[in-house]
Structure 1
Amino acid sequence: MSGIALLLTGGFAGLVICAIPFAIAIAVVTMGSLVVADIEPAFLAQQLIAGSQSFSLLAIPLFMLAGEIMSAGGLSQRLVEVASTLVRHRTGGLAIVTVLAAMVFAAISGSAPATTAAIGGIMIPAMVKAGYDKAFAASIAVSAGVLGPLIPPSIAFVIWGIVAEQSISRLFLSGVIPGLSIAIGLIAICWFHARRHNVPKQAPASWAEVGQAMVLGKWALFSPVFVLGGIYGGVFTPTEAAAMSCVYALVVGVAGRTLNIRDLPAIILRSVRTSAMVTSIIAVSVGFGVLVAQERLAVDFASWMAESLGTKWLALAALNLAFFLLASVMDEIAIMVVLGPMLIAIANRFGVDPVHFGAIIVTNVSIGMAAPPIGYCLFVGMAISGLSLARMAKAIWPQIIVMLIVLMLTTYIPGFALLLQPK
């Protein structure tokens, strides 16, 4: 291994272990590699600009802003009320409400942490008040938040589409069946938990309450139809859909008098802070990726896997295991953008369909957002519930197992993820 390759791999790993932010770690090792290779340092600046100029990249801050506006405008509360009137009287009703509301909100925000915060902030206290164990309530909210990257539109699929140069619309469709399967698995867990622990059922809603909730929640329910219908109807691209989501959320919030225009600066600032963390990693990773390609690290690693493992089945198993372990201790976005070239080389070597491979990667990323010890959604749930990491980790493992089962189906049955692809 050359000195540059050692710096790119060992240097980056060392900085991450020392808790250096990922964007800074990538920039430092890239600059160090340029110095060692005697390449003009201006190369890093050029690649920073190139890495931030993608039109598709605009979808990330726009979807995050749309989610913030909808949450501030009370649309998440409306979704919860609609779901509550329909299923709260069932066994595990309130927990099921959490999953259903998160599933619809995921189709609005595209973000796992945003979905966890918007729905968990409402439902965790409500479930505890209704007799659910607090750790279980928080773990269900965290697990339901994982639907954010899988149910389209999805920020994670946008990122992978940029990294892998694949159709973002096709990638969106590949996440629908895995996402719905996880939701069904979580609903089953809610039912079994409530039955086992004798959680009291809620009073059924009257037809008048159902009708009122539907009327109040109609614009929140129509949002996914508007966004996804526009994308797949050919009206606008995923990036334009993100912009339309912001406009839709703003108009509905202001017209419905649930959003104060004076709150917009604070809402925009929150979305900018979150977006900056994501886009900075993507921008600095372009130069890093060029050096990785120059050193043939991705190609050599793919060749080593092909020689060592031999079959696609074993290679995908090893990749899933490595990805799951990495995602539990490393930022998921950093994994996709830093390891993207290597992952793509492996997929190409074993003949994996690129859209199917995207579904595998994003399903893995989604699980990582809920998996101990550093899943983003896990920390959002801890902040809302006030529980320790140990209690959350203990409560969430049944849900993680359900997600891993769905990951195996996604990995080894291509048609599972590709069922909705256009012929």
Structure 2
Amino acid sequence: MAFTALLITFAIFMAMGAPVALAMGFASMVYILLGDVMPSIFIFSMVESLGGVTLLAIPFFVLAGEIMNVGGVTARIFHFAGLLVGHIRGGLAHVNILSSLFFAGISGSAVADTAGLGRIEINAMTKAGYSRAFSAAVTAASSCIGPIIPPSILMVLYGSMSEVSIPALFVGGLIPGLLLGAFMMIYVYFASKKEGVVPSERASLGEISRSFIRNAPPLATPVVILAGLVFGIVTPTEAGVVAVFYAAVVSMAYGDMNWSNLGAMLEEALITTTQIMFILGMSSLFGWLVTTEQLPQAMAQFFQGSGYGHLAFLFAVNVILLLLGTFMSLTSILVIFTPTLVGMGTALGVDPVHLGVVVVLNLTVGLITPPLGWCLYIVTEIAEIRFIDTARAILPFLIPILIVLLLITYIPGLVLLPGELLLPSR
């Protein structure tokens, strides 16, 4: 009865439009009042969930992305990407995707990618003759690379909740992130033909070399972070501190950042971090109650009884998360379902690192699908077009993303092989 009341209360509050953190908190309190659970477990669970040192990495990575964005690094990345691929058919659309690939290794966030690079990318593409809808769609779609390429805020959150190696998750996102970029660029090559825009002239090797030297420090950010994690020099939390220090030094060296920007950057990072931590704290008890009710084990037995086991489970994970992503925030989905999914996956023999990367990619799709897609709203505002036009233009870009999702879902080696080579002791 108590568990039924938990689910019903949660559903009622969600239907009323209440914040998901409050819905989980009130539902958990109803369970405590009706069930045989000590009320003190509510406070204990919240404090325990937020007490992990690993979670300190989140505000540091958020702040590092803010520093790089304010420090003028985004414009430099866009210019360098233009020299590399601007001459290919679909020129600036390819530059857009490649810039997101580079910036993903700095921010770890799709929203930061869209907000940081979006205005530069869309303005440049529209001035070159690309339609506003196509420019907005490319910008929003390429932002999906942000949470996959390390460092990734979502992977830190998943790893801390599931007690899975965060370095393994970071390394596991390398190939999927590169595949996302490659498949999007293949699509853009053919789709941009109807845009009728002439690509720029091919840059000389000397121009590319000089630009690379000037922009090497910010481009090296993911390499610095991954190297520290792979060789055991830093923990994930320490890697976040290194990222902030490195981003500050690089931005100040370029002369585009000063101390007057510090207050605004800290405020933005604080707001983002507080939102994440509040949801995580309120959801911790909810997840614990669901787990103690043996729901993961029951659902695992169901998939085993289907005759397909982990294959059916992974298919169901993709379908459910893609649907949930259309009307729930990705952080909320992650904190609600991670304990259950990891429990079920473990019972079915699914590697938690493999599952984590699949889950994160699923959730990023929600950022570009209506009605909730945050990145869609950002690019719509920047491009100054109707939301329906952006939503219609983004639909074809779901094809390369879903192809990559299917590949990493059913070919685990694409996620696990880099970890086996770089982190043999995982």
Give runs of aligned pairs for residues 397-408 of structure 1, distance below 5 A. Answer: 397-408=395-406
Instruction: Give the distance between the partners of 1:91 and 1:145, measured in 2 at CA.
Output: 21
Matched, 1:75 2:73: yes
Instruction: Give the distance between the partners of 2:253 and 2:414, measured in 1 at CA.
Output: 41
Shift of 1:309: 6.0
Q: Which residue of 1 aligns with 2:289?
A: 291
Q: Which residue of 2 aligns with 1:375?
A: 373
Q: Which residue of 2 aligns with 1:315?
A: 313
Q: Which residue of 1 aligns with 2:265?
A: 267
Q: Which residue of 1 aligns with 2:141?
A: 143
Which residue identity does 1:269 align to in structure 2?
Answer: E
Shift of 1:113: 0.6
Q: Which residue of 1 aligns with 2:106?
A: 108
Shift of 1:308: 4.6
Contact 1:68/1:271 (CA < 8 Å) preserved in 2?
yes
Which of 384-393 and 147-156 deviates more?
Answer: 384-393
Match of 2:360 among 359, 362, 365: 362
Give runs of aligned pairs for residues 15-414 of structure 1, distance below 5 A. Answer: 15-37=13-35, 39-205=37-203, 209-308=207-306, 310-414=308-412
Which residue identity does 2:176 align to in structure 1?
Answer: P
Contact 2:67/2:265 (CA < 8 Å) preserved in 1?
yes
Instruction: Give the distance between the partners of 2:207 and 2:175, measured in 1 at CA.
Output: 32
Contact 1:76/1:105 (CA < 8 Å) preserved in 2?
yes
Q: Which residue of 1 aligns with 2:415?
A: 417
Instruction: Give the distance between the partners of 1:314 and 1:256, measured in 2 at CA.
Output: 51
Contact 2:131/2:195 (CA < 8 Å) preserved in 1?
no
Instruction: Give the distance between the partners of 1:9 and 1:308, measured in 2 at CA.
Output: 25
Contact 1:56/1:158 (CA < 8 Å) preserved in 2?
yes
Instruction: Give the distance between the partners of 1:140 and 1:292, measured in 2 at CA.
Output: 39
Instruction: Give the distance between the partners of 1:168 and 1:360, measured in 2 at CA.
Output: 15
Shift of 1:170: 0.7
Number of matched residues? 421
Shift of 1:186: 0.9
Instruction: Give the distance between the partners of 2:114 and 2:344, measured in 1 at CA.
Output: 33
Which residue identity does 2:132 align to in structure 1?
Answer: K
Q: Which TM-score applies when normalising by structure 2?
A: 0.94
Does the residue aligned with 1:149 lie in a helix, a strand or coil?
coil
Q: Percent identity?
A: 36
Q: Is there any run of 5+ residues in structure 1 with no aligned partner, and where?
A: none
Provide Cα deviations, 1:41-87, integer angstroms capped at 9, x if missing partner: 33222222111111111111110100000000011111111111222
Provide Cα deviations, 1:96-147, integer angstroms capped at 9, x if missing partner: 1111111111011111110111121210111011111111111111111111
Which residue identity does 1:406 align to in structure 2?
Answer: V
Which residue identity does 1:56 align to in structure 2?
Answer: T
Instruction: Give the distance between the partners of 1:125 and 1:398, measured in 2 at CA.
Output: 22
Contact 2:167/2:226 (CA < 8 Å) preserved in 1?
no
Q: Is there any run of 5+ residues in structure 2 with no aligned partner, and where?
A: none
Which of 253-262 and 37-46 deviates more?
Answer: 37-46
